[in-house]
């Protein structure tokens, strides 16, 4: 799935709130990781950039 299609399907922050999750099929995205932030030993946050957009 392209990043643009993912943003169109799930919305920027309208459909999935920060820290939230959606039950259902697993989606795979590809792009360039610009930053990785670790909250603890098991939780990581990634900024993925592709097509001039980020998620």
Write out the DSSP string of 8-20.
HHHTTTTSS-TT-
- What pLDDT does 38 receive? 92
- What pLDDT does 36 receive? 92
Residue 30 phi/psi, 5° resolution? -130, 140
| Cα Rg of the chain, angstroms | 12
pLDDT class for 11, splitting at 50, 70, 90?
confident
Q: Is the pLDDT of residue 14 over 70?
A: no
- What pLDDT does 23 receive? 84
Give the tens place of pLDDT for each residue, 18-54: 777 778 888 888 888 999 999 888 899 888 888 787 7
């Amino acid at each position: 799935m392209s990043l643009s299609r993912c943003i169109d399907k799930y919305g920027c922050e309208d459909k999935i709130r920060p820290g939230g999750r959606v039950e259902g099929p697993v989606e795979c995205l590809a792009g360039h990781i610009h930053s990785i932030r670790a909250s603890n030993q098991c939780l990581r946050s990634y900024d993925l950039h592709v097509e001039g957009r980020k998620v």
